[in-house]
Structure formats: C-alpha cells, structure tokens
Structure 1
C-alpha cells in the first residue's frame, strides 16, 4: 500500500507542475518586478513584469476556456473572445498612457496593434503548422474557416488604409483623427455582424468537417493510438463555479495590470536608453500578449487538432483589430490622449502581405511543415525591417 502511494506521488507532482506552473511563476514574477522597480533596477523589473504578464495570461486563457465550455452560445464565445484580447488591450492602454510624458510612445502602440496580427498569423499559426507538419506530414482543417477569416482580415486591412492614406495628403491631423474614429465605429459594427455570423447563422464554417475528423481518426487507427484518452481533470478551477471563476479572472487581470504598469514605465525608459525602435517595441508587446495562444496552438497542433489552431490564430487576429482598435481609441479619448490610425507603409504593407500569405497557406484545407516555415520566414524578415525602419 505504501509503495502504491509512493508510485502516485511523482505523477501527482507532475500534474501540479503542469497545471499550476503559470499561476505560481506569474505571481512570483510580478512581485519580483515590483521589488526591482522600487529598487531602481529597470531592466530586471521590465523582464520580470513581461514574464509575469505572459504566465498569468496563460491562466486567464485556461479559465476562459473552462467558462466557455459551460456557458451557452453566444456567451461562451464572448468569454473566449474577450479573454483573447483583454491582456493586449490592458498592456497597450497602459503603455499609451506613457504618451503623456513621452509622445513617441504612440508609435509603439500603433506598432503593437499591427504586430499582434502579424505574430498571430505568422508566429502562432506558422509555428503550430510547422510543428504539426513535422509530426503528421499533413493535417486537414475546414477550408471555409480560413477563407472566411482571411476575407474579414483583408477587408479590415483595407479599412485601416483610409487614415493612413489621408496622412499622405494635405489634410491636417483633425481630419485624420475624425477618420480614425469613423473607422473605429465601422470596425465595431463589422465585428457585431461577424459575431452573429460566427455564433448563430454559419457556425459550421468554424467547425472541423467530417472529412477532417475522419482524416484524424484514420491516422490514429493506423498508428495504433487509443481514440478515447482519459485526461487528468483535477484542475482547481474546474471545481469552481462560474461566479468564482469570473472573480478569479478579474483578480488575475488586475494583477496583470499592475505588472503592465511596471513594464510600461520601466520599459519605455529602457527603449529610449538603448534606442529600441517602435517596431521592435511593438513586436515585444505583441509576443507577450499573444504568448498564451501560442502555447495553446502548439499543444493543439501536436494533438493533431489543426482546426483548433486555425480558429485560435485567425480568430484572435480578427478580434485584435476589430475590438482592440475601437476600444483603445475610446479609452484614449476618455483619457485625453490622441491615438490616430495613420499606420506607416511598412505596417500596412506587412499586414496585407500577412493576410495573403495565410490565405495561400490554408486555402486548400491542408497544411504541412513547409507552409508553416514560410510564415515563420516572413516574420523574421519583418522583424529585421522593423528593427531598422
């Protein structure tokens, strides 16, 4: 009996590490960042704040997924949608507030908005497709999903061109600002229509097809894998009721906001000191905010759930623009700050090319490691240009 209990201990420890590493690391990192900030060690404070934000964001996404499975539509999708962008919005808004002292920070925020989509579509999707392709050679998904999302993203990218084009005319900042708010309203209305399309009228566009499910089943049978696997489900937040989980979400988001304050104040100073470009700073913010989805997508790809990967990458990209932009503009207006959507040619061009590349990689409903590698290569090229632009 004692040997049996001893045998179970390593397994229990492993489950505890797998289930709660993000929560423990996140809290410790945020506390450490506050201490470092108070001691005047800006570099360490920024690093630990970034680590804490990324780790706690993983916990936020896991709790949101639990809630989404329990709630009926459209509330389940709403929880997932907002959890996907809440960290990005909090981080970008707190960085934007630094513009009161450092006006150039506005360019970093605009870079962060575009970079979130570029990271989602090239790093998240590219890395997951590459890893999944190495393990399974080819993976199948519902091509209607990628077709719909890339159409939405292409139209959205063209909408963002309006203020950008006006900035190259003789119109003043007042006209560009009005155009930016008008586009923000249009984007929000567009999102409402898409939300209805996704959760009410055309839900089948965003689900795995019978063919792709059979593709996975056939492969599992061929490889001799068990179809129904029991998974460890003794997760603390699984035992909480919905109200308790919502409270935990609010507490975690508040903790992330504290870390974001440290990250913004010390990070802006470091960027100035070391001459970090707005493009690279925006990429760093995007990678931190997108990190939970990256972990989830890689895990899904390794489990041969490429449909889930496509939904996460492209769905998060859509929400990153259609919700983040209007909300950030609204918050900036209420805070007495000016945020205009006059993105530079590199940002708009990279956004449009990202959408085209993602469309070509997923249009046939099949993916392989080469397509993932192509998107990763595009990201590397963009990062190099952003560093010197």
Structure 2
C-alpha cells in the first residue's frame, strides 16, 4: 500500500492522459472555450508538476544512494528530459514553434541564474549570514556556461548567414557538436577526475539527507523515475495545445509560453535547491542551479536542433537585442557573485532584481 501511495502521481498522470485520449475532440480547447480550457490547463499543469515532483523524489533517492555529484547529476538529467519533451511538444504545435526553444532556454537561464540563485542566496543569507561553497566548482560551471550561452543565444542574432535569429546549417552543426563535446568534457570533470570540487568544502554531510525520503533499491528508483517521466511526456502534447490556446485567448505575449514551461520544469528542482540553501548546504544548491543552466544549454539546444532538422521545422535561437543585454548582464553579475568563496543576502537581492526586470520585459517587449 505504501508503494502505491508513493507512486500515486504516476498513476494519476496515466489516468489523466487516458481521460483526455478517450474524450478526444470533446475536450479540445477550441470546443471548450477560453474559460473551461484554462481550467483544463490547470488540471494538466498540476498533474505534470506532481509527476515532476515524483521524478525529483526518485532522483533524490538515487542521490542518497550514489552521493554527490552523481545524485545532482541524475536530478539535472531527469529534469532536462522533461524540458526537452515539453519544448518539442509546444514547438511542433503551432505558430510559436520557431522561437519556442529560444524563449524556453532563455527563461531557464534567467529563472535559474536570477530567480533561483537569488532566492537561495537571500534565504540562506538571512538564515546563516555568510555561506560558503567550493569556488572551483562554481567556476567550472560558469566557465562552460558563458561560451555555451553566447554560442547558442547571441551568435545567431549577430551573424548574417541565416535570416533573423535562425542558424545556418554550418552554425547548427557547429552548435550541436561543440555543445555535446564541451558538456562531455564537463561531465568527465564533474564525475570522474575532479568530483571533489563539487562537494561542500566544510565537510558537511549533504549526501545522505534528502528530505526524509524512503530509500529503496537502485532498480526500484530507476523504474519509478522513468514511470513518472512517461506521463509527463504523454501529457506534453496536451499541455502544449492548452498553453497555446490560453495565451492566444488572453492576448498574452508568446514568450510567456516559454516562461511557463521553464517554471514548470524547474519548480521541483528549484524547491530542492532552496531547501539545501536554507539547510546551509550551499554547494548542493549551486550544483542544482548552475547544473540546470549548463545542461539546458549543453543538452537541450542540440536535442532541439536535431528535432528541428528531422521534422523540417525552423528553429530560431538568436535573442532580441534587449534580451541579449539582460543575458550579458546576468552572466556578468553571476561571475561577480561566484567570484568569492562566501555569499550574502545582498547578492541574492541583486539577482532577484534582475529576475524582476526580466519578467517585466516579457510583457513590455511583446
């Protein structure tokens, strides 16, 4: 009975998918209207989020068994799988397709580097004053994040080999190969040769306390993780249809769809990072936050480009110039924040101010 209760999110996810599949056209957003469609969107959104929390829970259990940095890496890769599924579903669903990947990845970077990092530093700083982490680990994250972000989100806008913010075939090939190679090198650093720089420097035991989850065997949690991922993937197409219809019905900017997907994907992971910061385990929070940003650029970009190539869809990655300024400012402030071995709540407030500016620009530039 305890197993069934713990895996209830996956069962509910499959049930919701079955209901929408059997209902067919009767539950199409065009048939239901804006008001009812927003209600159904809330149902799908909450179901997907519940399943995402189940994914994170199984990843947390694997983290408890395997220790850092492998636990955080599993968590990051699981979340990236959800992100790719949602991006591809919405990307293939309608007029928001060309810029969907760009908006989502930019949203992930801004939510992680400003929203989550800001909340973690603010909450941790208010509770523990100054917090410490492994500076070499943070520098490793930033050293790969800066070039990957510029390659993917800036270069396509300032070059003229393809229209707008699209990538030329040569650029797309370079982006896929370079992202995979750089992330592969980083993965070797993180898990094999330099795994010690991604651990808490004060020796705090942050590998065995993961919110009192019930830890079972590795096969159980691996199967549970994939069983929680599957309904998210199955419901992603339904979610895409309702998000697109709801945004059009409300007259909201299309970039909001990318923000919604990014917020949905990052919610469980963000809560895990925030909890770690409050428990004075800043290294784990840094691993989660910066790892999410690096994996989004290093893995999601190649995946989306490959999907676009296979399906023949145009992918627009180049940011608008105002967004480029926000990205460069965010990377600059992040380099300053993670340039010393201690942090305070002042840095958290600065990052949250940048996040507020980003949210404002979503509506101001629409």
Change (3 A) 1:21 1:379: farther
Change (3 A) 1:46 1:31: farther
Partner residue of 1:7? none
Structure 1 segments unaligned to the other structure (5+ residues): 1-12, 217-227
1:362 paired to 2:354: no
From 337, 342, 346, give the equivalent of 2:313: 337
RMSD between aligned residues: 3.2
SS at match of 1:323: helix
Contact in 2 for aligned 1:163/1:180 (Cα 8 Å): no
Contact in 2 for aligned 1:89/1:324 (Cα 8 Å): yes
Partner residue of 2:157? 164
Partner residue of 1:93? 88
Aligned mates of 1:324, 1:29 — CA distance in 2: 27
Structure 2 segments unaligned to the other structure (5+ residues): none
Partner residue of 2:276? 300
Q: Normalised by the size of structure 1, how large is the TM-score?
A: 0.80
Change (3 A) 1:291 1:29: farther
Change (3 A) 1:140 1:77: closer
Partner residue of 2:61? 66
1:286 paired to 2:279: no
Contact in 2 for aligned 1:153/1:318 (Cα 8 Å): yes
1:261 paired to 2:253: no
Aligned mates of 1:229, 1:170 — CA distance in 2: 51
Aligned mates of 1:313, 1:260 — CA distance in 2: 24
Partner residue of 1:179? 171
Q: Normalised by the size of structure 2, how large is the TM-score?
A: 0.85
Q: Matched residue pairs, number?
A: 352
Deviation of the 1:362 alpha carbon: 2.5
Larger radius of gyration: 1
Contact in 2 for aligned 1:141/1:366 (Cα 8 Å): yes
Change (3 A) 1:231 1:194: closer
The farther-off stretch of 48-57 and 177-186 is 177-186
Change (3 A) 1:317 1:33: farther
Aligned mates of 1:93, 1:261 — CA distance in 2: 9
Structure 1 segments, 4+ long, off by >4 Å, are 19-36, 71-78, 170-175, 228-233
Deviation of the 1:31 alpha carbon: 7.3
